[in-house]
Amino acid sequence: MPTVRVRYFAMLRDIRSAEGEEDFELPEGWSVAAIYAELFPPGPEGAIPVGFAVNQIYVRGDHQPQDGDEVAFIPPVGGG
Amino acid sequence: MFKVVSEVIDRDAVRQAVEDPAFGAVLIFEGVARNNFEGRAVHALEYEAFPEMAEAEMRAIGEELAARWPGSKCAIVHRTGRLVIGEPSVIIAVGTPHRAAAYEANRFAIDELKRRVPVWKKEVYDDGATWKPNAEADQGSVQAATQTGTERP
């Protein structure tokens, strides 16, 4: 089964796992947005809006990652 | 120099990264941990980064800046971990032949950083802590913007 490495940060880590990364077995044809909805189901207040990156480059939600890719969920940033 | 560091930022090193005898101006911006947010006392800030991607995005900002203000140079260092009030969280140095461009280009760099560099800030209060996104943070549209902006080989 193709697998991607998923990374997430900040409030997403608080929700799911402090480690902030895990492997995810990738069903065929899944987009990065679909993976996000699976791992972070919307709560009563809806989903946390995120950007997506594959191999550290921003991509659109409909991007379909490949086996071995690193998929990152980027919640609203707060740097500076 | 485009770096994420977990210790106190070396201000002199950031300054030296934009040395150039052709420059008539070097402008240094420091983002500093502030003790309040909307009337609430803040005791400390905790920054977290996606370090590899944050450095790549900062480098992309530097390249965009150099294209927009030819002959200029930029260095950006962002800190992570727990900061006490008054410590710089980010230092941006921009060197240019003339001063007007230094002000414009430095402003461009911090605005872009706050919009798209994957770094997060937690404000620590008396009674808890909250992740605090930037008003400028770009979600969703980040994806469209980066089709042209931040791709790299």
The verdict on a CB contact (< 8 Å) between B78 and A50 is: no
Radius of gyration of chain B (CA): 16
Domains of chain B, earliest start first: 2-126 (3.90.1170.40)
The ipTM, to two decimals, is 0.91
Place of tokens 């485009």: B2
Instruction: Convert B108-120 into a string of H (helix), E (strand) and C (coil).
Output: HHHHHHHHHCCEE
CB atoms within 10 A of CB B130: 14
**pTM for the model:** 0.89
Q: Model confidence over B23-35: pLDDT tens digits? A: 999 999 999 998 8
Bridging pattern class, strands A51-54 and A70-74? antiparallel
User: Do the Cβ atoms of B71 and B102 come closer than 8 Å?
Assistant: no
The verdict on a CB contact (< 8 Å) between A50 and B139 is: yes
B48, B117, B147 ranked by CB distance to A10: nearest: B48
Q: Model confidence over B62-89: pLDDT tens digits? A: 999 999 999 999 999 999 999 999 999 9
Place of tokens 């991007």: A63
Tally the residues of chain B. 153
For residue B139, the chain A residues in CB contact (below 8 A) are: 49-51, 76
Min distance A44 CA to chain B CA atoms (Å): 19
Residues B146-151: what's their mean pLDDT? 36
Domains of chain A, earliest start first: 3-74 (3.10.20.30)
